[in-house]
Amino acid sequence: MTAAVLNAVRWDLVPLWVIKPFEIPMRALHAVAVVTLAFAVGAASTEGVVRMRAARAEKVAATDGSIGELVAFEVRTEDGATLAKSRLVSPEGKVASVTVRDPSDPSTVRMVLRVTTSREASGSVCVNYAVQIPELSLSRSGRVWVKPGVESTLPLGPDLVAVFTAVPVPSRAFEKLLESERAHRAPRAS
Q: Do 49 and 108 share a structural domain?
A: no
**Per-residue confidence (pLDDT) for residue 96, from 0 to 100:** 92
Please say whether the beta carbons of 71 and 87 come within 8 A: yes
> Same domain for 49 and 75?
no
Choice between 135 and 3, residue whose per-residue pLDDT is larger: 135
Q: Which pLDDT score, from 0 to 100, does residue 18 have? A: 58
| Percent of the chain whose pLDDT exceeds 90 | 14
Is residue 36 scored above 90 in pLDDT?
no
Contacts by 106-112, CB closer than 8 A, 24 or more apart: 109/134, 110/84, 110/134, 110/135, 111/75, 111/84, 111/86
List pLDDT tens digits, range 118-142: 888 888 889 999 999 898 888 999 9
User: What are the pLDDT digits (tens) for 159-172?
Assistant: 889 888 888 888 88
Cα–Cα distance measured from residue 45 to residue 51, given in angstroms and rounded to the nearest whole number: 10
174 vs 59, which has greater pLDDT? 174
DSSP notation for 166-186: EEEESSHHHHHHHHHHHHHHS
Domain C-terminal end among 6, 40, 62:
62
Contact (Cβ atoms closer than 8 angstroms) between residue 68 and residue 91: yes
Give a yes or no: residue 90 inside a domain: yes
For residue 44, the enclosing domain spans 16-62
Considering its fold, how many domains does the chain have in total? 2
Average pLDDT value for residue range 26-32: 70
